[in-house]
Amino acid sequence: MTRINLRVDQENVSDDVEPRMLLVQYLREKLGKTGTVIGCDTSNCGACTVLLDGRSVKSCNVLAVQADGAVVDTIERLADDDGTLHPVQEAFRECHGLQCGYCTPGMIMQTVDLLNENPDPTEEEVRLGLEGNLCRCTGYHNIVKSVLHAAQLKKSQETGVGA
């Protein structure tokens, strides 16, 4: 067992973990953060995407011990405490960016990273930015629409001008 200390969704956590435990297993099995989803066993689907020190990673591709000392943000702390959705969540809701929703947590976390890096992406840049996240239901059209709308919502929040 190896001791790890990290900050997950704004709370400090400390645990003894098996060196082979994946970050996604740690989040789900030890911390009960089942909002982060396992959608494949080949590191292809992106459903497990979280932010690690502010950048998106597939948490099935990272060992829990590699996150020692890091800040991890998951879908579970994206909304405000009063239930107000994050602009990316709101945009996915408004633009019907999901059907079964299995891919949605990963899509949303990937979008948060994408818009942090590029606040005003083109449709092509959105499609490129989400290429590591698979959705089996939507055909991506409404997801891309959601991301473009999220960029507008974020901008209007920042400038105080309606989207």
- Pick the closer one to ligand FES by CB: 14 or 113: 113
- Cα distances (angstroms) measured from residue 120 to each of 73, 84, 115: 23, 23, 7
According to the binding rule CB under 6 A, does residue 48 interact with ligand FES?
yes
| Token pair 């709101």 in the structure block, residue | 90
According to the binding rule CB under 6 A, does residue 136 interact with ligand FES?
yes
- Pick the closer one to ligand FES by CB: 70 or 109: 109
What is the total residue count of the chain? 163
- Pick the closer one to ligand FES by CB: 69 or 101: 101
Contacting residue, 27, 28, 39, 129, with ligand FES by CB under 6 A: 39
From the list 39-47, 80-88, 121-129, 151-159, the region that binds ligand FES by CB under 6 A is 39-47
**Rounded CA gap, 68 and 48, in Å?**
18
Which residue in 84, 83, 88, 128 sits closest to 106, CA to CA? 88
141 sits in which H/E element: helix 141-159
Cβ-based neighbour number of residue 160 at 10 Å: 6
According to the binding rule CB under 6 A, does residue 60 interact with ligand FES?
yes
Contacting residue, 40, 65, 71, 163, with ligand FES by CB under 6 A: 40
Greatest alpha-carbon span in the chain: 52
According to the binding rule CB under 6 A, does residue 35 interact with ligand FES?
no
| Chain residues that interact with ligand FES, rule: CB under 6 A | 38-40, 43-48, 58, 60, 98-103, 135-138
